[in-house]
């Protein structure tokens, strides 16, 4: 095909090509995460891979609200924190058992469902900005409670606890004839591997569930509400009921992600689950990846996470390489990584106004 033919290709063809690119990118990310313990063997890389898995679920569940239904909420970290704190409190007080995870996690999810239903029923009838303020207030109250109820949550210091023996790094999964931990491709088969794949497959199942939701008739109704709420109500859909339902679904999935985060991290505190900085990260990831696309959650989380954890290292290397050049090494100092992250975000928004996945898959994209 000639260059002229490519330029003059119809929008549908460009959208088809964009979908193919996004699908391949998501597939490669999934494969990399599946093999992460063997491909990236240092401790930080393992942490980043597990965080990406959990935040893909968290960001995708938030996209159910803001991208597919048009609901702006600032309470998503509250539900995330409820799942994490429920699990952490149970593990701390009952002990490192699967029963404690099930009991504490179920309690956190139940509280998240009740709060989401109450917020939904009482607030989703109001205009978007007022609902956003209500959720912001609820999240702030939960953050204060987590900090102040030190007898239960240990306040700002958070909770440190043990997890089931199977998931502990000291537990051998496979041993050789001498009783030593067996290594596969140089990786020790211990509880760390079990913990990672527990997180990975749980996140994969939750992500698959959300893709089924958005492709179901419910997903179609949610998008209709997003596009024109009055018209959706006029043709017979109970908008408040649907908006409340998706708010509860998103809160439940966020709480389940919180359970996985608590198990993986073995620490739960306000800064790791309830802080407003996490909510900002979720918003940025949704915008970068593309609202209203499950694939966008994957792309946004991967890019943002890699930038947060590795941009400093890249800038340090660039500063060392450009040492003889005047002024440039000072601009590339690792302490200025937030400046460059901001510039990268501005460029992404400029060139991909609907997010990376959203822009590539739009039928009228140029």
14-50 burial code (b ≥16 CB/10 A, e <16): bbeebeeebeebbeebbeebeebbeeeeeeeebebbb
pLDDT at res. 11 = 60
Mean pLDDT, residues 101-125 taken together? 90
Residues whose CB is less than 8 angstroms from the CB of residue 71 and which lie 6 or more positions away in sequence, other chains included: 65, 124, 128, 131, 243, 246, 247
Length of the chain equals: 366
Tens digits of residue pLDDT in 267-302: 999 999 999 999 999 999 999 998 888 999 999 999
The string of pLDDT tens digits covering residues 135-174 is 999 999 999 999 899 889 998 999 999 999 998 887 887 7
Rounded CA gap, 135 and 119, in Å? Answer: 8
Q: Over 80: is that where the pLDDT of 12 sits?
A: no
* pLDDT tens, position by position, 311-349: 888 888 888 888 888 887 888 888 888 888 888 888 888
The confidence score (pLDDT) of residue 3 equals 43
pLDDT band at 40 (very low <50, low <70, confident <90, very high): confident
Distance CA 358, CA 19 (A): 9
Diameter of the chain measured on Cα atoms: 73
What digits encode the pLDDT tens for the residues 232-277?
A: 888 878 888 888 899 999 999 999 999 999 999 999 999 999 999 9
C-alpha torsion 101→106→109→111, nearest 10: -120
224-247: b (≥16 Cβ within 10 Å) or e = bbbeebeebeeeebebeebbbbbb
């Amino acid at each position: 095909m000639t260059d002229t033919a490519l330029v003059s290709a119809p929008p549908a063809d460009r959208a088809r090509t964009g979908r193919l690119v996004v699908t391949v990118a998501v597939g490669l990310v999934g494969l990399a995460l599946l093999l992460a313990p063997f491909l990236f063997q240092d401790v930080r890389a393992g942490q980043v891979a597990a965080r990406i898995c959990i935040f893909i679920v968290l960001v995708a569940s938030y996209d159910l609200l803001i991208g597919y239904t048009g609901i702006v909420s600032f309470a998503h970290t509250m539900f995330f924190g409820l799942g994490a704190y429920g699990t952490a409190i149970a593990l701390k007080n009952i002990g490192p058992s699967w029963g404690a995870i099930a009991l504490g996690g179920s309690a956190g999810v139940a509280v998240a469902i009740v709060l989401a239903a109450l917020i939904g029923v009482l607030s989703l009838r109001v205009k978007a900005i007022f609902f956003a303020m209500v959720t912001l207030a609820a999240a702030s109250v939960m953050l204060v409670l987590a900090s102040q109820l030190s007898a239960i949550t240990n306040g700002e210091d958070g909770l440190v606890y043990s997890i089931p023996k199977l998931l502990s790094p000291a537990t051998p999964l496979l041993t050789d004839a001498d009783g030593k931990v067996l290594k596969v491709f140089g990786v020790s088969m211990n509880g760390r591997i079990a913990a990672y794949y527990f997180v990975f497959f749980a996140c994969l199942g939750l992500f698959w569930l959300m893709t089924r939701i958005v492709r179901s008739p419910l997903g179609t109704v949610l998008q209709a509400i997003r596009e024109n709420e009055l018209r959706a109500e006029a043709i017979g859909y109970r908008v408040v009921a649907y908006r409340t339902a998706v708010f509860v679904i998103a809160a439940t999935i966020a709480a389940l992600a919180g359970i996985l985060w608590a198990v993986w991290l073995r620490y739960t505190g306000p800064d790791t689950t309830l802080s407003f900085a996490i909510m900002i990260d979720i918003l940025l990831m949704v915008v970068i990846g593309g609202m209203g696309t499950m694939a966008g959650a994957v792309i946004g989380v991967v890019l943002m996470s890699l930038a947060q954890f590795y941009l400093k290292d890249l800038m340090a290397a660039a500063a060392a390489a450009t040492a003889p050049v005047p002024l440039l090494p000072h601009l590339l100092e690792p302490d200025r990584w937030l400046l460059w992250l901001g510039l990268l975000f501005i460029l992404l928004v400029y060139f991909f106004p609907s997010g990376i996945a959203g822009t590539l898959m739009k039928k009228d994209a140029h």
